[in-house]
Amino acid sequence: MNVLWRRAVPLLCRRPRLRADTATDRGLHSSCRRRTVMPAWIIDKYGGNDVLRFSDNLLFPILNYPNEVIIKVHAASVNPIDVNMRNGYGAKSLNMTRDPLHLKTSSTEFPLILGRDVSGTVMECGLSVKYFRPGDQVWAAVPPWKQGTLAEFVLANANEVSLKPKSLSHTEAASLPYVLLTAWAALVHSCGLSKEKCPGKRVLIIGSSGGVGTAAIQLLKAWGAHVTAVCSGNAFALMKNLGADDVIDYTVARVQEQLKTRDLFDAILDNIGGSSEELALHYLKPWSGATYVTLVTPFLYNNDQLGIADGMMRTGVTLASKVMKHYYKGIHYRWGFFAPSGPTLDEIGELVDAGKIRPVIDEVFPLSDVPKAFQKLEAGHARGKTVIQIVDPKK
Ligand SMILES: NC(=O)c1ccc[n+]([C@@H]2O[C@H](COP(=O)([O-])OP(=O)(O)OC[C@H]3O[C@@H](n4cnc5c(N)ncnc54)[C@H](OP(=O)(O)O)[C@@H]3O)[C@@H](O)[C@H]2O)c1
């Protein structure tokens, strides 16, 4: 209740938009001297890994709204969306949602900072931020239409931020927000699962060994679901270690064949898409509220290819036809999307501190090796997350 109240205060006290130029005008609570530039990895155009460029004179973020905070980034992590955005994926849609106040130096999205996850220290707070104060250790995932976290500082809305679980280091904490919030959105909002509804439920996770998969297994096991994980054989030990009840190796035989010997499922979380979508009609319990949710959708791709109006039209037709096709067979069909949320991270943080969710880190790179981290991610076969350490914890 206390947590909810502290979160509600900024909403109740929300002020009209401010565009102020000085720290005093903006009524900042600050623990750092005003800086003008900072180091960051940026891109100035879309393309392959060679467009990633290190800059040590990127404009320091400033608070544009009273509910924003500036975070000093101790660690960040990279996700497939960073590689995709580097290639230009989603640019048409994301540019529509970018805030002009945050595009300070040019009329385009460049220079663009990638990276969604952050674990770090609050440096400055807007006037209506009551839940945080400078010096707080926090974690967050910032949405893709904002500047990212592969930088010394990042600007976030206070509602996207949460106090970091005390049991995790910054390096560990930075591995979790984006993938856990995505798994949460898919399982809770799309499939209707929760702590109360999970016991007795059978859930199939396709693509269980990467960032989202390892997060989803742990969330579902913390809530008491029965989890079947689909991955390659060399990830079996990891899956069992995270609590998966049953594991299927997609590399030895068709998943369809292997599933014939198993009971039907209440939910399928699909992190792979394509032909794995076919599993929905055959392996979910029909007419029981069972739901298939995929994270691999053509939504942003359609807008990139066709423009916003035609892209939205095609997306609507595709989604509607798939929903109807499954509905007639007694199955719910959904698309799942990452949703930033500080309050959800508060709840996840409690599970982390209770030892029910732990970070699964594939590899840690220093800030100087961001291009290598992208290369690694692009090569596939992730086992959990690729983390970027920005502040050396020993210093
Ligand atoms: N809609 C959204 O908002 C949203 C949010 C987050 C992620 N996503 C998407 O969701 C997908 C998963 O994200 P992630 O962060 O978990 O990616 P990831 O960390 O790269 O993990 C992908 C995992 O899938 C495994 N894999 C590959 N092919 C497979 C197959 N046919 N069957 C089973 N496992 C397979 C890979 O290992 P092996 O190749 O060694 O088997 C790897 O462990 C990505 O496409 C991402 O873009 C969407």
Give the DSSP per-residue string, 65-92: STTEEEEEEEEEEE-HHHHHHHTTTTHH
Taking the CA of residue 234 as reference, the ligand 1 atom at the shortest distance is: 40
pLDDT value for 367:
97
Give dist(CA 111, CA 124) in Å, integer: 23
Note whether 265 and 147 are same-domain residues: no
pLDDT value for 268:
98
In the structure encoding, which two tokens stand for residue 151, read together? 């930088």
Does residue 150 fall inside a structural domain?
yes
Give dist(CA 51, CA 370) in Å, integer: 12
CATH number at 188 reads: 3.40.50.720
In the structure encoding, which two tokens stand for residue 146, read together? 């904002």
The torsion region of residue 52 among left (phi > 0), alpha (psi -120 to 50) and beta comes to: beta
Which of the residue ranges 106-110, 267-271, 323-327 would you say has the lowest mean pLDDT? Answer: 106-110
Taking the CA of residue 209 as reference, the ligand 1 atom at the shortest distance is: 43
Note whether 213 and 289 are same-domain residues: yes
For 126-173, the pLDDT digits (tens) are 999 999 999 999 999 999 999 999 999 999 999 999 999 999 999 999
Average pLDDT of the chain? 91
Is the CB of residue 138 below 6 angstroms from any atom belonging to ligand 1?
Answer: no
Is the CB of residue 258 below 6 angstroms from any atom belonging to ligand 1?
Answer: no
CATH number at 101 reads: 3.90.180.10
Note whether 31 and 151 are same-domain residues: yes
Note whether 159 and 171 are same-domain residues: yes
pLDDT value for 392:
87
Structural domain boundaries enclosing 87: 2-175+360-389
Residue 293: count of CB within 10 angstroms of its CB: 23
Note whether 73 and 215 are same-domain residues: no
Note whether 183 and 170 are same-domain residues: no
Is the CB of residue 338 below 6 angstroms from any atom belonging to ligand 1?
Answer: yes
Taking the CA of residue 295 as reference, the ligand 1 atom at the shortest distance is: 1
pLDDT value for 14:
36
Please tell me the distance between residue 229's alpha carbon and the centre of ligand 1 in angstroms.
Answer: 13
Whether this model's pTM surpasses 0.85: yes
Cβ proximity of 247 and 262 under 8 Å: no
pLDDT value for 388:
98
Give dist(CA 65, CA 255) in Å, integer: 50
- By the 10 Å C-beta count (0-12 exposed, 13-18 middle, 19+ buried), 204 is classed as buried
Note whether 10 and 149 are same-domain residues: yes
* Number of independent structural domains in the chain: 2
pLDDT value for 103:
60
For 327-383, the pLDDT digits (tens) are 999 999 999 999 999 999 999 999 999 999 999 999 999 999 999 999 999 999 999
Note whether 65 and 191 are same-domain residues: no
